Amino acid sequence: VNICMDNLDDCDVNADCTYLGGDSYTCECRDGFEDIGSGLIGECEDIDECFNMTICDDVTKQCVNTNGSFYCECRPGFHYNTIDDTCEESQKVQGEFIIVNEEYKENYANPNSIEYKQFEEQFKTAMNGIYKNSETTKYTYQETELLELLKGSVKPVYTLVFNDDANIDTLALEALLFESLDDGMLDTGIDMWQIPPFTISYTDFDACDYDELNDCSDNANCHTLSDGKFNCSCKNGFEDLNTAYPGRYCEALTTTTTESPVEKLPQDDTDAMQIVLGVLVAVLLLAIILIAVFAVYQYCQRRSEKQSYNAAGHLTAIQPNDYVIDSLNDGGGWDDFGLGSFDVDGRLTRSYSGSTGSLNTADERHIAAVIEHAPDLNVCRTLYMAS
Ligand SMILES: [Ca+2]
């Protein structure tokens, strides 16, 4: 009887059994495991190779420990170059749009669910189809990352990943997606997604908002840079163990230094500076938003003057299938919006009301973008209708 062959041994599941004849055999932990027991049967525990911080040997890669092994993958902020097997620095931009004819599934909130994964695959294929085939982006576009799926009806929030040579133009990216729609529909090869053009938006991506998309240590501050990039720095009181790639390995300083009031002063100054800076940025942003809203309002006023109405009070002089944003007439505010199209008599024939939720400043920006890229869309008339 070969005890090992017949599985009669007591070796650890991660050990190899060697039969020595008779009743005797030995157990030896496999590669990637170490024997932490004192007996002969082996108690094999995974070796955490990532404890060696330089095992991936490159600041562009990070180590992932697995049971019995490990692998190196591109760090957040880098993408994989299959041609020379390297990780290259990425630029990213954040995008979103609304699919009005898809039903939101409860499991879309869970990125590990089958429903989410299925959507993700279909979504990435669709986005690759657009940006890998466009003349302006095909040499710089790398991939699409789905960040989350929000309700309303289904609102994917994602990033487009580009290589470092790309000159990212958010309005041009919006236009490419818009131009891929056929009568308001995006053909994913599986489904036809109905996407109101004004819901398409690209904005700056802030990797510091997403824990899984930046690799700053829990004991580090994350700093947002342009083009979707970021860097990290260990917090006060923590030592950086790998200054080649700062803010990733931060260890509490063990030496207790006597606190001197002199050392505190610069910290207070920094705090005060940050508050002043924060207020300045907030005021600046508010000013920009007000100017944008005023500009859209002015533009719409001018467009509204061109419209005429029939006896029933419907808009006339509108071509069939013109898009409009149609307020639900709650007093003329910038909320409760829908998107629709009109017939020759100016009656609303199709509408997607209630799917967009409250408008915010980002939505107002989309409207401005749609007007710029598609001046034929009559997106302004509703302001008039709502009054
Ligand atoms: Ca391991």
Instruction: Encode pLDDT of 106-146 as tens digits.
Output: 999 999 999 999 999 999 999 999 999 999 999 999 999 99
Q: How far apart are CA 65 and CA 47, in angstroms?
A: 8
Ligand 1 centroid from CA 38, angstroms: 21
Ligand 1 centroid from CA 45, angstroms: 9
Ligand 1 centroid from CA 35, angstroms: 13
User: Which residues make up the environment of ion ligand 1, defined by Cβ < 5 Å?
Assistant: 46, 65, 70
Locate the DSSP E strands across 195-267: 201-204, 220-224, 230-234, 238-240, 250-252
Ligand 1 centroid from CA 68, angstroms: 5
Ligand 1 centroid from CA 339, angstroms: 54
Percent of the chain with pLDDT over 90: 53
Q: Which CATH architecture has domain 85-205?
A: 2-Layer Sandwich (3.30)
SS3 of residue 195 by DSSP? coil
The residues spanned by each domain of the chain are 1-47, 85-205, 290-386
Q: Which CATH architecture has domain 1-47?
A: Ribbon (2.10)
- Which pLDDT value is given to residue 217? 94
Q: Mean pLDDT across the chain, nearest whole number?
A: 79
- Which pLDDT value is given to residue 146? 97
Ligand 1 centroid from CA 312, angstroms: 75
Kind plus residue range of the DSSP H or E element containing 341: strand 337-342
Ligand 1 centroid from CA 261, angstroms: 46
Please check the confidence at residue 305 and state whether its pLDDT lies above 70: no
Ligand 1 centroid from CA 60, angstroms: 20
Structure tokens at 344: 């020759």
Q: How sure is the predictor about 330, in pLDDT bands with cuts at 50, 70 and 90?
A: very low
Q: What are phi and psi of 317, to 5 degrees?
A: 60, 30
Per DSSP, 103 falls in state P
Structure tokens at 315: 């808009």
Q: How sure is the predictor about 271, in pLDDT bands with cuts at 50, 70 and 90?
A: confident
**Beta pairing class for 315-316 and 154-163:** unpaired
Q: Is the dihedral of CA 204, 373, 161, 152 positive or negative?
A: positive
